[in-house]
Copies of this chain bind each other. A is one copy, B any other.
Amino acid sequence: MIEQFAKEELENVAQKIEKEGISKDIRKRLAELGLLAATLPQSENGSGIDRRSFSLVLMTIAKYSASVAYFTYLQNTLVNEILSKAQKRKEEIIKIASGESTGTLVHDLNLNFPQEVYIKGYELYGSNSFVILPDADLHLVLARSESPSYLIMANPVKIEKKKPLGFRAISFGVASYKQTIEEDRIILKDADSLLKSHFFDTSDQIAAIALGMSESAVEKAIEYSKERKAFESYLYEFQPISAVLTDMKGRIEEMKKALMLSEVVQDRILLKLNALELSRLASRVALQIHGGYGYLEDLGVERYYRDSMFLTMLSSNYIKDIKTVSKEIISPDAFKI
Protein backbone atom coordinates (compact mmCIF):
# COMPACT_ATOMS: atom_id res chain seq x y z
CA MET A 1 0.00 0.00 0.00
CA ILE A 2 2.82 2.37 0.91
CA GLU A 3 4.65 1.24 -2.21
CA GLN A 4 1.57 2.07 -4.22
CA PHE A 5 1.15 5.48 -2.59
CA ALA A 6 4.81 6.33 -3.11
CA LYS A 7 4.85 5.15 -6.68
CA GLU A 8 1.61 6.74 -7.71
CA GLU A 9 1.61 9.92 -5.69
CA LEU A 10 5.27 10.73 -5.28
CA GLU A 11 7.29 9.30 -8.13
CA ASN A 12 6.10 11.62 -10.86
CA VAL A 13 6.02 14.71 -8.72
CA ALA A 14 9.25 14.10 -6.85
CA GLN A 15 11.07 16.82 -8.78
CA LYS A 16 8.15 19.18 -8.36
CA ILE A 17 8.12 18.53 -4.61
CA GLU A 18 11.80 19.46 -4.51
CA LYS A 19 11.01 22.80 -6.07
CA GLU A 20 7.78 23.65 -4.31
CA GLY A 21 8.07 21.92 -1.00
CA ILE A 22 5.92 19.34 0.71
CA SER A 23 2.40 20.55 0.24
CA LYS A 24 -0.39 20.31 2.75
CA ASP A 25 -2.03 17.80 0.41
CA ILE A 26 0.91 15.47 0.71
CA ARG A 27 0.87 15.89 4.48
CA LYS A 28 -2.81 15.05 4.50
CA ARG A 29 -2.15 11.93 2.44
CA LEU A 30 0.63 10.91 4.79
CA ALA A 31 -1.76 11.44 7.66
CA GLU A 32 -4.51 9.39 6.01
CA LEU A 33 -2.05 6.57 5.60
CA GLY A 34 -1.28 6.86 9.27
CA LEU A 35 2.34 7.71 8.65
CA LEU A 36 2.65 10.86 10.71
CA ALA A 37 2.11 9.13 14.01
CA ALA A 38 3.13 5.77 12.79
CA THR A 39 4.54 3.90 15.73
CA LEU A 40 2.35 5.54 18.33
CA PRO A 41 -0.23 3.12 19.77
CA GLN A 42 -3.72 3.48 18.39
CA SER A 43 -4.91 4.32 21.89
CA GLU A 44 -2.84 7.49 21.65
CA ASN A 45 -4.16 8.47 18.22
CA GLY A 46 -1.32 6.70 16.44
CA SER A 47 -1.28 3.94 13.86
CA GLY A 48 0.44 1.34 15.99
CA ILE A 49 2.85 0.31 13.23
CA ASP A 50 5.73 -1.71 14.59
CA ARG A 51 9.21 -0.25 14.38
CA ARG A 52 10.51 -2.61 11.78
CA SER A 53 7.60 -1.94 9.47
CA PHE A 54 8.07 1.77 9.97
CA SER A 55 11.66 1.45 8.80
CA LEU A 56 10.41 -0.31 5.71
CA VAL A 57 7.89 2.48 5.14
CA LEU A 58 10.65 5.08 5.30
CA MET A 59 12.79 3.05 2.95
CA THR A 60 9.94 2.77 0.46
CA ILE A 61 9.10 6.45 0.54
CA ALA A 62 12.77 7.38 0.26
CA LYS A 63 12.96 5.45 -2.98
CA TYR A 64 10.59 7.96 -4.53
CA SER A 65 11.14 11.11 -2.50
CA ALA A 66 13.90 11.34 0.05
CA SER A 67 12.56 14.68 1.23
CA VAL A 68 9.15 13.25 2.03
CA ALA A 69 10.81 10.32 3.81
CA TYR A 70 12.89 12.63 5.94
CA PHE A 71 9.89 14.81 6.66
CA THR A 72 7.96 11.74 7.78
CA TYR A 73 10.83 10.68 9.99
CA LEU A 74 11.00 14.13 11.54
CA GLN A 75 7.29 14.36 12.28
CA ASN A 76 7.30 10.93 13.83
CA THR A 77 10.27 11.82 15.93
CA LEU A 78 8.33 14.68 17.42
CA VAL A 79 5.04 12.95 17.77
CA ASN A 80 5.91 9.39 18.64
CA GLU A 81 9.10 9.72 20.43
CA ILE A 82 9.12 13.01 22.18
CA LEU A 83 5.72 14.48 22.75
CA SER A 84 4.10 11.19 23.55
CA LYS A 85 6.90 10.05 25.81
CA ALA A 86 6.74 13.34 27.59
CA GLN A 87 3.06 12.59 28.16
CA LYS A 88 2.20 16.06 27.14
CA ARG A 89 0.52 18.24 24.64
CA LYS A 90 -1.98 15.83 23.23
CA GLU A 91 -3.46 18.55 21.03
CA GLU A 92 -0.14 19.14 19.29
CA ILE A 93 0.22 15.44 18.65
CA ILE A 94 -3.15 15.35 17.01
CA LYS A 95 -2.38 18.36 14.88
CA ILE A 96 0.86 16.93 13.59
CA ALA A 97 -0.49 13.43 13.23
CA SER A 98 -3.31 14.80 11.10
CA GLY A 99 -0.98 16.78 8.87
CA GLU A 100 -2.70 19.92 10.10
CA SER A 101 0.51 21.46 11.36
CA THR A 102 4.20 20.69 11.10
CA GLY A 103 6.80 20.40 13.77
CA THR A 104 10.52 20.52 14.06
CA LEU A 105 13.22 19.75 16.55
CA VAL A 106 15.88 22.37 17.10
CA HIS A 107 19.02 20.92 18.58
CA ASP A 108 22.78 20.85 18.20
CA LEU A 109 23.53 17.26 19.00
CA ASN A 110 25.16 16.47 15.67
CA LEU A 111 27.30 19.56 15.73
CA ASN A 112 30.90 19.67 16.83
CA PHE A 113 30.23 22.80 18.82
CA PRO A 114 27.02 23.77 20.63
CA GLN A 115 24.66 26.37 19.26
CA GLU A 116 23.66 29.18 21.48
CA VAL A 117 20.11 28.62 22.62
CA TYR A 118 19.81 29.12 26.36
CA ILE A 119 17.22 29.26 29.00
CA LYS A 120 17.62 31.38 32.11
CA GLY A 121 14.72 31.26 34.46
CA TYR A 122 11.82 31.35 32.07
CA GLU A 123 13.67 33.40 29.48
CA LEU A 124 14.53 31.58 26.28
CA TYR A 125 17.02 33.28 23.99
CA GLY A 126 19.65 32.66 21.36
CA SER A 127 19.72 31.06 17.97
CA ASN A 128 20.59 27.92 16.08
CA SER A 129 21.97 28.19 12.56
CA PHE A 130 21.32 24.65 11.43
CA VAL A 131 17.60 24.11 11.78
CA ILE A 132 15.69 21.83 9.49
CA LEU A 133 12.18 23.06 8.74
CA PRO A 134 12.54 26.39 10.60
CA ASP A 135 9.14 27.46 9.27
CA ALA A 136 7.40 24.62 11.08
CA ASP A 137 4.38 25.52 13.19
CA LEU A 138 5.79 23.90 16.25
CA HIS A 139 9.39 24.24 17.44
CA LEU A 140 10.73 21.94 20.07
CA VAL A 141 13.94 23.60 21.11
CA LEU A 142 16.82 22.12 23.03
CA ALA A 143 17.84 24.91 25.36
CA ARG A 144 20.86 24.77 27.59
CA SER A 145 21.00 26.20 31.04
CA GLU A 146 23.47 26.07 33.85
CA SER A 147 22.48 22.65 35.05
CA PRO A 148 20.33 20.39 32.92
CA SER A 149 19.07 21.13 29.46
CA TYR A 150 15.43 21.55 28.56
CA LEU A 151 13.28 20.82 25.59
CA ILE A 152 10.96 23.72 25.13
CA MET A 153 8.03 24.37 22.90
CA ALA A 154 8.84 27.74 21.47
CA ASN A 155 8.16 30.23 18.71
CA PRO A 156 11.08 31.72 16.85
CA VAL A 157 11.23 35.50 16.77
CA LYS A 158 13.04 35.29 13.50
CA ILE A 159 13.90 32.70 10.95
CA GLU A 160 16.25 33.03 8.01
CA LYS A 161 16.08 30.43 5.30
CA LYS A 162 19.13 29.23 3.42
CA LYS A 163 19.21 27.04 0.36
CA PRO A 164 20.17 23.66 1.73
CA LEU A 165 22.51 21.23 -0.02
CA GLY A 166 19.82 18.61 -0.11
CA PHE A 167 16.19 17.89 0.77
CA ARG A 168 15.25 21.09 -0.98
CA ALA A 169 11.59 20.36 -0.43
CA ILE A 170 12.23 21.04 3.22
CA SER A 171 13.27 24.45 4.44
CA PHE A 172 16.51 24.93 6.32
CA GLY A 173 18.13 27.82 8.07
CA VAL A 174 18.56 29.89 11.17
CA ALA A 175 15.99 30.21 13.93
CA SER A 176 16.29 32.77 16.70
CA TYR A 177 14.40 32.80 19.96
CA LYS A 178 13.62 35.40 22.53
CA GLN A 179 10.61 34.81 24.69
CA THR A 180 9.38 34.20 28.12
CA ILE A 181 8.00 30.73 28.24
CA GLU A 182 5.26 29.28 30.36
CA GLU A 183 5.90 26.33 32.60
CA ASP A 184 3.78 23.99 30.53
CA ARG A 185 5.87 24.64 27.47
CA ILE A 186 8.76 22.78 29.05
CA ILE A 187 8.44 19.36 27.52
CA LEU A 188 11.44 17.56 28.92
CA LYS A 189 14.09 18.13 31.53
CA ASP A 190 17.56 16.74 31.04
CA ALA A 191 16.56 16.77 27.43
CA ASP A 192 20.09 16.50 26.16
CA SER A 193 20.63 12.89 27.11
CA LEU A 194 17.06 11.89 26.31
CA LEU A 195 17.30 13.32 22.83
CA LYS A 196 20.67 11.77 22.31
CA SER A 197 19.40 8.34 23.15
CA HIS A 198 16.38 8.95 20.96
CA PHE A 199 18.59 9.78 18.00
CA PHE A 200 20.84 6.85 18.59
CA ASP A 201 17.89 4.55 18.97
CA THR A 202 16.26 5.67 15.73
CA SER A 203 19.49 5.43 13.77
CA ASP A 204 18.04 2.51 11.89
CA GLN A 205 15.32 4.76 10.52
CA ILE A 206 17.97 7.02 9.03
CA ALA A 207 19.68 3.91 7.68
CA ALA A 208 16.38 2.93 6.09
CA ILE A 209 16.08 6.30 4.33
CA ALA A 210 19.68 6.04 3.16
CA LEU A 211 19.05 2.54 1.82
CA GLY A 212 15.91 3.62 -0.01
CA MET A 213 17.86 6.42 -1.64
CA SER A 214 20.69 4.10 -2.54
CA GLU A 215 18.37 1.58 -4.06
CA SER A 216 16.65 4.19 -6.12
CA ALA A 217 19.93 5.71 -7.33
CA VAL A 218 21.26 2.34 -8.37
CA GLU A 219 18.03 1.39 -10.12
CA LYS A 220 18.05 4.64 -12.04
CA ALA A 221 21.61 3.93 -13.07
CA ILE A 222 20.77 0.40 -14.19
CA GLU A 223 17.85 1.70 -16.20
CA TYR A 224 20.00 4.33 -17.84
CA SER A 225 22.74 1.80 -18.57
CA LYS A 226 20.19 -0.12 -20.60
CA GLU A 227 19.18 2.90 -22.65
CA ARG A 228 22.46 4.61 -23.22
CA LYS A 229 25.12 3.47 -25.63
CA ALA A 230 28.78 4.36 -25.89
CA PHE A 231 31.16 2.90 -28.41
CA GLU A 232 28.15 1.14 -29.90
CA SER A 233 27.44 -0.93 -26.80
CA TYR A 234 25.03 -0.43 -23.96
CA LEU A 235 26.67 0.88 -20.83
CA TYR A 236 25.70 -2.17 -18.80
CA GLU A 237 27.71 -4.37 -21.12
CA PHE A 238 30.89 -2.72 -19.88
CA GLN A 239 32.40 -4.78 -17.10
CA PRO A 240 33.37 -1.99 -14.71
CA ILE A 241 29.87 -0.53 -14.92
CA SER A 242 28.04 -3.78 -14.31
CA ALA A 243 30.53 -4.70 -11.61
CA VAL A 244 30.02 -1.53 -9.63
CA LEU A 245 26.23 -1.67 -9.98
CA THR A 246 26.17 -5.30 -8.95
CA ASP A 247 28.39 -4.59 -6.00
CA MET A 248 26.15 -1.75 -4.87
CA LYS A 249 23.07 -3.90 -5.21
CA GLY A 250 24.72 -6.54 -3.08
CA ARG A 251 25.62 -4.10 -0.37
CA ILE A 252 22.13 -2.67 -0.34
CA GLU A 253 20.63 -6.12 0.01
CA GLU A 254 23.08 -6.92 2.77
CA MET A 255 22.22 -3.83 4.76
CA LYS A 256 18.51 -4.30 4.24
CA LYS A 257 18.86 -7.68 5.90
CA ALA A 258 20.96 -6.24 8.67
CA LEU A 259 18.32 -3.56 9.17
CA MET A 260 15.73 -6.21 9.87
CA LEU A 261 17.78 -7.74 12.66
CA SER A 262 19.41 -4.69 14.25
CA GLU A 263 18.07 -4.63 17.76
CA VAL A 264 21.04 -3.31 19.67
CA VAL A 265 21.58 0.41 19.56
CA GLN A 266 25.29 0.18 18.70
CA ASP A 267 24.46 -1.99 15.70
CA ARG A 268 21.93 0.59 14.60
CA ILE A 269 24.39 3.47 14.83
CA LEU A 270 27.01 1.63 12.84
CA LEU A 271 24.43 0.53 10.32
CA LYS A 272 23.40 4.15 9.94
CA LEU A 273 26.99 5.20 9.27
CA ASN A 274 27.48 2.43 6.74
CA ALA A 275 24.17 3.05 5.00
CA LEU A 276 24.92 6.77 4.76
CA GLU A 277 28.31 6.05 3.29
CA LEU A 278 26.75 3.65 0.84
CA SER A 279 24.17 6.22 -0.18
CA ARG A 280 26.89 8.76 -0.92
CA LEU A 281 28.81 6.23 -2.93
CA ALA A 282 25.74 4.98 -4.80
CA SER A 283 24.74 8.50 -5.71
CA ARG A 284 28.23 9.27 -6.93
CA VAL A 285 28.24 6.14 -9.07
CA ALA A 286 24.76 6.83 -10.42
CA LEU A 287 25.71 10.38 -11.34
CA GLN A 288 28.90 9.18 -12.98
CA ILE A 289 27.07 6.64 -15.11
CA HIS A 290 24.68 9.34 -16.28
CA GLY A 291 27.68 11.45 -17.28
CA GLY A 292 26.95 15.06 -18.21
CA TYR A 293 23.21 14.42 -18.00
CA GLY A 294 23.63 13.35 -14.42
CA TYR A 295 25.15 16.71 -13.59
CA LEU A 296 21.93 18.46 -14.67
CA GLU A 297 18.97 18.56 -12.34
CA ASP A 298 16.51 17.51 -15.07
CA LEU A 299 17.17 13.81 -14.71
CA GLY A 300 16.85 13.93 -10.95
CA VAL A 301 20.13 12.12 -10.42
CA GLU A 302 22.28 14.89 -9.00
CA ARG A 303 19.62 15.19 -6.31
CA TYR A 304 20.78 11.90 -4.80
CA TYR A 305 24.27 13.28 -4.67
CA ARG A 306 23.15 16.28 -2.66
CA ASP A 307 20.55 14.51 -0.59
CA SER A 308 22.82 11.69 0.52
CA MET A 309 25.41 14.13 1.82
CA PHE A 310 22.79 16.34 3.38
CA LEU A 311 21.17 13.40 5.13
CA THR A 312 24.62 12.46 6.42
CA MET A 313 25.21 15.95 7.74
CA LEU A 314 21.78 16.20 9.31
CA SER A 315 21.71 12.90 11.03
CA SER A 316 25.18 11.93 11.97
CA ASN A 317 28.39 13.27 13.29
CA TYR A 318 30.94 10.63 12.47
CA ILE A 319 33.24 11.40 15.35
CA LYS A 320 30.48 11.51 17.93
CA ASP A 321 28.81 8.40 16.62
CA ILE A 322 31.90 6.26 16.44
CA LYS A 323 33.01 7.50 19.84
CA THR A 324 29.71 6.49 21.39
CA VAL A 325 29.94 2.99 20.01
CA SER A 326 33.65 2.62 20.78
CA LYS A 327 33.04 3.42 24.42
CA GLU A 328 30.33 0.82 24.51
CA ILE A 329 32.04 -2.04 22.73
CA ILE A 330 35.72 -1.46 23.41
CA SER A 331 36.07 0.40 26.68
CA PRO A 332 34.70 3.48 28.40
CA ASP A 333 38.16 4.97 27.89
CA ALA A 334 38.26 4.29 24.19
CA PHE A 335 38.53 7.05 21.61
CA LYS A 336 40.10 9.40 24.11
CA ILE A 337 43.21 10.78 22.48
Contact = CB atoms under 8 A, between A and B. Distances in A.
Interface of A: 222, 225-226, 233-234, 236-239, 242-243, 245-247, 249-251, 253-255, 257-258, 260-262, 266-267, 270-271, 273-274, 319, 322-323, 325-326, 329-331, 333-337
Given A236-B330, A331-B236, A334-B237, A254 B243 contact: no
14 contacts: A226-B331, A233-B336, A236-B333, A238-B336, A245-B326, A246-B322, A246-B326, A246-B330, A247-B322, A250-B273, A251-B274, A254-B267, A255-B258, A257-B262
Contacts of A329: 246, 249
Contacts of A222: 330
A270 B254 contact: yes
A8 to B, nearest CB: 26
A272 B233 CA distance: 30
A329 B237 CA distance: 13
Q: Top 10 nearest A-B pairs by Cβ distance?
A: A250-B270, A242-B334, A257-B261, A242-B326, A254-B258, A257-B258, A237-B336, A242-B335, A246-B326, A243-B322
Most buried by B among A237, A336, A337: A337
Nearest to A328: B246
A237 B336 CA distance: 5
Contact of A257 (B239, B260, B331): B260
Contact of A242 (B238, B243, B274, B330): B330
B336 A246 contact: no
A21 B246 CA distance: 39
B270 A247 contact: yes
A266 B245 CA distance: 13
A233 B336 CA distance: 10
A253 B250 CA distance: 16
Contacts of A242: 322-323, 326, 330, 334-335
A330 B234 CA distance: 12
Most buried by B among A257, A258, A325, A334: A334
A18 B144 CA distance: 59
A250 B277 CA distance: 13
